[in-house]
Each structure stands twice: as C-alpha cells, then as structure tokens.
Amino acid sequence: DGGITQSPKYLFRKEGQNVTLSCEQNLNHDAMYWYRQDPGQGLRLIYYSQIVNDFQKGDIAEGYSVSREKKESFPLTVTSAQKNPTAFYLCASAKQGEITEAFFGQGTRLTVV
Amino acid sequence: KQEVTQIPAALSVPEGENLVLNCSFTDSAIYNLQWFRQDPGKGLTSLLLIQSSQREQTSGRLNASLDKSSGRSTLYIAASQPGDSATYLCAAPYNAGNMLTFGGGTRLMVKP
C-alpha cells in the first residue's frame, strides 16, 4: 500500500536532548512537509522540501532541523533549542505542480519529560 | 500571506441533520483548496480537493464548494451520522510551493 509512515507514534524527550522524528513515503512525491499541531489549534508549517538535497524554512523553523538525502525520507530533528517542543507533529507529501493533493502521515506525539 | 478561518469552531447536531461547515481565505489567487478530516490523536485524511476551475466537488455524502471571488469554501455533509464526528480542516496553498495554510478547524459531534 502506498502512503506516508511516521515513527515513532509516541516520543518522550528529556530536557536538553535532541530527538529525531522519522517520515517515509512511497508515493513517489517530490514535495514533503513538516507541520506542528498544538491542542485546539490548526497546523503550522515547520519545514518543507520540494526536491532532494534542498529544503526551506516554514513559519516556525527555529529549534528544528531537517535533511532530505533521499526522495522517500524527510526526517525532522527537534533540537534542545526548541523551548516548547511538546506537540503533535505531522508529515505530509504531495506531487509538484499547481493542482496537487497533500497526503498526511498518522503523526508523532512528542512530550517533554 | 494566506490566512484561513473556519466557522464555527465547534458544532453539535443530532443524527440525520444536514450541515454546512464554512471556510474563508484571504488570498483568492489559489489553484485549489483541500478539506481534511482528523480523528482524535490521528493524522489528517484528505476528503476533497477542489481545483480553482471547479465550483463543486462531491464524494458520497460530502459536497464541497469553492467561490474564489468571495474567498469562501463550504463543506456540506448530508444526513450526518455519529461516525462523522471528527475535526474538519480546510487548507489553502499560499505560494508556488503549495505550502498549505490551515484553518483552526471545526470540531463536529453528531449525537445518536
């Protein structure tokens, strides 16, 4: 089955620790995105990538980093510089072009302990 | 920059009612608009994608309309069922990279 896989489903981070969230897609999509969702709020864009080895900051990139070494993979690292990382993180992918439908993974819930 | 607003924020209806969810956006220069469903603790499921050249898109009991000139889209759910209970999000792209700007969502509860 084609789709987007995020792992892990739940992640706990200690203060001062970096953690990496995985996102893999087998839809052959060029574009991939990371969003953050806080309780009762809409989604906010963290980073996006339209092609391998290239990525751009979104609206709330501070404290996060990404890489795009393969078309299928777009991991997100939450660094210790992110002061309020507890949130629900969603990865998405889409074809390039003007008319494009975005597909989402099932999310990773990150909690600071 | 695109801004998206959804009204109402929450809605509770008895089973069987027809209902309308509203979405407004500020930048009408969009190629498409997408509606999603989100169940608690889950990811987003794409419901409908409306292209700018279309005015309506239908899938089963769902019908979405798009009026670019007024900056509005509506999602119509016919004969609502308890299984329709979820949060519904609309999203519009805001540049050529097709990054989506999301509304805050409408949390729908359909009571048996």
Residues B59-81: tens digit of each pLDDT = 999 999 999 999 999 999 999 99
Q: Which residues contact B9 (CB under 8 A, 6 or more apart)?
A: B104, B105, B106, B107
pLDDT at position A46, please? Answer: 96
Is A95 part of the contact surface with chain B (CB cutoff 8 Å)?
no
Mean pLDDT of the A65-78 span: 97
The closest of B57, B51, B4, B43 to A106, measured between CA atoms, is B43
SS3 helix, strand, coil % of chain B, rounded to 5?
Answer: 5, 55, 40
- Cβ-Cβ pairs closer than 8 A, A with B, add up to 66
Residues of B in contact with A98 (CB under 8 A): 31-32, 98
Question: Which tens digits make up the pLDDT trace of A87-113?
Answer: 999 999 998 776 788 999 999 999 988
Which pLDDT band, with edges at 50, 70 and 90, does A1 fall under?
Answer: low
| Band (B88; pLDDT cuts 50, 70, 90) | very high
